Amino acid sequence: MLQRASSRACASKMEKAPIREVASAIASLNLSDANTTVLHVYHFNREDSKNYVVHTLRNSLTPIVLPKKTAKKGKSDTAEVEKLPETEENDGKRGVIAPSREQHWAKRFAVQAARVKVYDKAKHDPRADPVSPPPDCESYFVHLPTLWGHCPPYTLRNRGHKRAPVVCLFDPRLFWRQWKLEFGDVLTQEGVIDGRGLVNWRHGTKKGENGTLKGYKDRKRRWWLESGKKYFYEQLEHGHMIPEAAVKAKPEEVVNVKWTAPFVRAREYNFVWRGFQFAWKGTTVVDVQPKKFGWFRETMTRWNHLKLIVTVLDQGEHLQNGPSEIVLARYTSVLSARKAGRLEIFHDMLDLFLRENLTALTSTGGNIVLEKQDPATVDPFQDLGSPTEPRSEEEKTAQRLKDVVVASAMCMIMGEFQKREWVWALFWLLVDAAQNGGG
């Protein structure tokens, strides 16, 4: 509390200072002193690597309850449960002394394996509970629906499970060269996103004509491993439950995240949001937590860290200094099997950027269409309230900016991960070919 209060007091003193001075002052603060939200990015079901969960609580700090196995093989007694420790460091400090070091590490690895098994099932994860989520736990879920013969877009949801309200749709194109992000309150309306996680064809068009969302038709047969098993059988039993929309749904704004220079700047992604230039750039300035083999982890992930900057112009007499770069977020890659990394969002910098440019962000909007339209052709969803829509325009803009940061970060994280997977696959293919050729 004292650290957050000191951070806010520092921000209030610099409220009228130039952007360059304020940005440099806040950037010099330690992460523990700044008003920062740390989101931990995990692979959900590591085998397919298509879905991700993003939480403010780490797996090692989340207490879970597991069934304790009985003496009989293959059975478990649900009445007897064992509560895992709140931290991994407290595993051997619960009053139980391990007889030997081997048994201690065997028990520790068993606890970690049990955690991985539970966290791969969203219904067992307390952070993904849609009814009573943990307090002060921000979470997102990235879901890729499966529909054979099509390449549907990812959905970013504002809770830690795949039935949560959809924040945006994003679709990769041209081998990670471009990601198309579509935002809008229309995505949270009933029937637009069906039980498969796709835009239903009754609210979209076949190819996304005239700026509408691309819809996907219901099939008479569900193929193996396709998404929406429960939704499919409900459609067979009750028929089509989603009515035809008079006006097709359109996103409020579209953001294109581009990998601008693959061979020159391999770790740079640019996009424009409401007239401002944003960029994810590579950085080596990160805080490495003291862990075992920390030097090895730092060396292996040195070229995988990135930061999000926005380019703004200093106002008034400081205009001659040229454009300034404000660091809004930072992604730190982690050498782990399930965890992709940490996404740190600097709220002091977000507040600074919004305070200095609120008029430009809420008036014209670089990616928002504000043309006068015929009342008969106005999208009816624009007049309906969204369950996640804030009350004021300022709060809505702040929430949209945070969603843009998280969505663009997930595009960058997934793109970097998939590129590394392709490089490793190509490397081992060449090694195998060399061995076969030499043998």
Residue 240 has pLDDT above 70, yes or no: yes
Query: 10-19, 304-313, 373-382: lowest mean pLDDT where?
Result: 373-382
Q: What is the pLDDT of residue 107?
A: 67
Of the candidate ranges 89-103, 187-201, 283-297, the one whose mean pLDDT is the lowest? 89-103
90, amino acid identity: N
Taking the chain, what is the end-to-end CA distance rounded to the nearest angstrom? 66
Average pLDDT of the residues in 429-439 = 80
Q: Does 394 score more than 50 pLDDT?
A: yes
Q: For residues 362 and 83, which has the higher predicted lDDT (pLDDT)? A: 362
Distance of alpha carbon 149 from its chain centroid, rounded? 26
Q: What is the C-alpha separation between 171 and 184, in angstroms, rounded?
A: 15
> In which band, very low, low, confident or very high, does the pLDDT at 55 lie, cut at 50, 70 and 90?
confident
Per the model's pLDDT, the better-predicted residue between 205 and 290 turns out to be: 205
Instruction: Write the burial class of residue 425 (CB in 10 Å: 0-12 exposed, 13-18 middle, 19+ buried).
Output: exposed
pTM equals 0.75
Is 91's pLDDT higher than 60?
Answer: no
- At 77 the pLDDT is 36
Residue-level pLDDT at 102: 61
Is pLDDT of 9 > 50?
no
The distance between the two most distant Cα atoms of the chain, rounded to a whole number of Å, is 78
Domain ranges of the chain: 2-58+137-189+249-426, 63-91+98-124
CB–CB of 213/182 below 8 Å? yes
pLDDT of residue 31: 44
Which range, of 92-101, 160-169, 399-408, 415-424, averages the lowest pLDDT?
92-101
State residue 4's pLDDT score.
42
Q: Which residue has the higher pLDDT, 271 or 211?
A: 271
Of 194-198, 237-241, 346-350, least confident by mean pLDDT is 237-241
Q: What is the mean pLDDT of the chain?
A: 73
- CA dist 203 and 386 (Å) reads 17
- The listed range with the strongest mean pLDDT (8-22, 104-118, 167-181) is 167-181
Q: What is the DSSP letter of 8?
A: H
How far is it, in rounded angstroms, from Cα 145 to Cα 155? 8
For residue 402, the surrounding DSSP H or E stretch is helix 393-438
Instruction: Name the band, by pLDDT with cuts 50, 70 and 90, for residue 271.
Output: very high
User: Which of the pair, 439 or 189, is modelled with greater confidence?
Assistant: 189
Q: Taking phi first (over 0 means left), then psi (-120 to 50 degrees means alpha), and beta for anything else, what does residue 210 get?
A: left
Please give the pLDDT value at position 365.
Answer: 46
Task: Kindly state the DSSP code that residue 207 receives in the 8-state scheme.
Answer: S
What is the tens place of the pLDDT at every residue in 155-190?
Answer: 999 887 778 889 999 998 878 889 999 999 999 988
Burial class (CB in 10 A: 0-12, 13-18, 19+), 164: buried
The CA distance from 188 to 57, in Å, is 25
Name which residue leads in pLDDT, 423 or 304: 423
What is the C-alpha separation between 167 and 158, in angstroms, rounded? 6
pLDDT for 79: 34
Average pLDDT, stretch 413-439?
84
Q: Which residue has the higher pLDDT, 86 or 284?
A: 284
pLDDT in tens, 60-86: 776 666 555 533 444 443 333 344 444
Whether residue 150 is predicted with pLDDT greater than 60 in this model: the reply is: yes
Which region among 122-136, 204-218, 409-423 has the lowest average model confidence (pLDDT)? 122-136
Closest Cα partner for 111 from 87, 127, 95, 146? 87
The pLDDT, as a whole number, for residue 244 is 80
Dihedral sign from CA coordinates of 224, 230, 235, 238? positive
Given a cut of 90, whether residue 124 has pLDDT beyond it is: no
Is the model's pLDDT at 141 over the cut of 60? yes
CA distance 81 to 67: 5
Q: Tell me, what's the pLDDT at 362?
A: 78
